Structure 1
């Protein structure tokens, strides 16, 4: 009979709540203030303190964070932004939203991330920003080439949607001197239900990001409520994070030590269970430093293995089909052999804090059977 009796292995990813998020939201509802409020500002302060940075700017989503950060970095018509093709399409759409063009870069097959040599190979005269994607939560160190990039006027805008809480050395991701963008979507390491954050490099940049997220308006809500006018000083969007979402984020942040320990333990449990399984390569996330967001393997006959596992209620996924092969991005297509090979082989195993060690045994046993079936006569 097809199927398994353990419901948590049927989900590739799942939100994880600790139980006090609901009460936090109710407090905001009872306040009568649902938009950008002092709760949002407290969330910004707490995230900045957690990361060890001077400031953090909350926005409505991770995609909004990338869009605003790229605008702050000078992306626009006539410019290019270097980005790996191996990422969720939101990264590329944020680039296009600025009017800039994506310049796709290949990846290191062991990590599914760009490295310094691949970045520099892709940079051209029209490049204004590089967007390294911290894939699966893996920290990326571009510090050695940041001076070269800065000399050429190229900003580093980190897509850390998968990497909240990960460390680059002893410091949290977000402290490297880049514009770092986080996502707090439903299944991320820390969730607000929906939300995002940017760590600015300077106070001036923080002011610009805050204007961008509020339609270019510079005056505070208090000033607007007590004045017959307000100032709009430039282009902006409605990208604020609501107090309702920020309240969820604050409750989650209080438990983050548990979150990161749980995710590391689950990834290591998978690594132990997969060791020795022929035909499977585990994608390295640098678990000593990363707070893993995904657990991925590379397998031959991936599509057959995927179909077999899905038929048996194992919630595998593919993160992600390469963007440079998508119809929407044909104008910027270029050969990326490492990305294309990975795109044929990657498989994301169920990975979320609801899983138990027994669940992982079920997944790995099913994977072993699927591999045997896919490669058999």
Structure 2
């Protein structure tokens, strides 16, 4: 696999397994306990400390985090959740898994994120939750509609899969705003557990509800149940625990996250500067001074041809994302979204991860320039 083979995928097969990660995994393997254990709970405490919040509930994936958060917020059949169409399909699938329906929301073309005005325009009598998607790592400020949402009992369930480590304009970490915030720690996220996710609850009671939800409705973990002759299933639940193996990777990753964040910011700035003045190319702004970028996305003319030319040259560009309201599975909830539809055929994701070099970035931009010239010539 070459450095630029796929967007967001690292240059070798085991990019995260450095000494600390290998040692942490070895300790879990030696313990013989691989499920939810004290290692998981240590990871939760460390993430909570990093974010400056009271509690964090770790789960098996970002999708599991969104689903469990919606259920904990009381979202269910007959209700709607506002969600941008410009997101990974997991956001929408989580809404459907909770028994609710998506109501798709448009975006600001400059940021790919929804706005307070767009949220307010999309509200209906059936709206029970709003799921802002922090595209590329950028924080979203819904303060202008916060009172309205509170009065109507509408929960904010943040899809912060891209945004671990990012901050808002006031310097508060994403996750520390009093919302139900959901992170993904999947293979290519800013912080990875190999696979995993987490929820920042709004109260101790909600934290306890989420802990029971993730363990099939039981309060005791597998390790605790093994030391007991009885256990109780007290609620409906899901099999969403974060394993000790995954938590160990996350704990090791967190120890050097500041370095990861600095590298990602530097590489994003390198892209921004190298792309400046390239005809027809605009960089989607992630507010890099406050964000830990997860993606580097540009808009280009004749996107599909440029995509094909760059792939032929060995640069693994991609698309984040084909709009969900145009997907066959979600067609029944489609509604006009002018900005999303205008951008759908122009978005191009450039290779971006902390194992790139500046030379890799400049090579990508050179190939992009050549692809644009080829497209123009035709």
The TM tier, using the shorter chain, reads: over 0.9
Alignment of 1:30 with 2:25, yes or no, is no
Q: Deviations over 1:198-245 (max 9, x none)?
A: 000000000000010001112455653344322211110110000000
Maintained 8 Å contact 2:192/2:250: yes
Q: What is the rounded CA distance, in whole Å, between the counterparts of 2:327 and 2:345 in structure 1?
A: 14
Q: Which runs of 5+ in 1 are unaligned?
A: 1-5
Rounded Cα–Cα distance in structure 1 between residues aligned with 2:220 and 2:371: 59
Q: CA deviation at 1:146?
A: 1.6
RMSD between superposed Cα atoms in Å: 1.2
Higher deviation after alignment, 227-236 or 333-342: 227-236
Task: Indicate conservation of the 8 Å contact 1:8/1:359, yes or no.
Answer: yes
Q: Deviations over 1:274-302 (max 9, x none)?
A: 01111100100000111000001001100
User: Does the alignment pair 1:8 with 2:9?
Assistant: no
SS of the aligned residue for 1:150 comes to helix
The equivalent residue for 1:300 is 301
The SS at the match of 1:331 is helix
Q: What aligned pairs does 1:1-377 form with structure 2 within 5 A after superposition? A: 7-15=2-10, 16-17=15-16, 18-168=18-168, 169-219=170-220, 221=222, 224-377=225-378
Q: 1:362 to 1:35 in 2, by over 3 A?
A: same
Give the superposition deviation at 1:353. Answer: 1.2
Measure the CA separation in 1 of the matches of 2:260 and 2:67: 28
> What is the alpha-carbon distance in structure 1 between the residues aligned to residue 135 and residue 180 of structure 2?
17
Matches of 1:88 and 1:158 in 2, distance apart?
Answer: 14
Specify the SS of the correspondent of 2:25: helix
Measured after TM superposition, the shift of residue 20 of structure 1 is 1.7
Contact 1:165 1:173 in 2 (8 A): yes
SS in 1 for 2:54: coil
Secondary structure at 1:158's aligned position in 2? strand
| TM-score normalised over the length of structure 1 | 0.97
Take 1:98 and 1:10, find their aligned partners in 2: how far apart are those partners? 36
Structure 1 segments, 4+ long, off by >4 Å, are: 220-223
Q: Which deviates more from structure 2 when the two are superposed, residues 183-192 or residues 12-21? A: 12-21
Gaps of 5+ in 2: none
**Contact preservation (8 Å) 1:146, 1:156:** no
| TM-score computed with the length of structure 2 as normaliser | 0.96
| C-alpha separation in 1, matches of 2:362 and 2:5 | 14
User: Whole-Å Cα distance in 2 between the matches of residues 25 and 120 of structure 1?
Assistant: 46
Deviations 1:19-61 (A, max 9, x none): 3211110100001111000000000000000000000000000
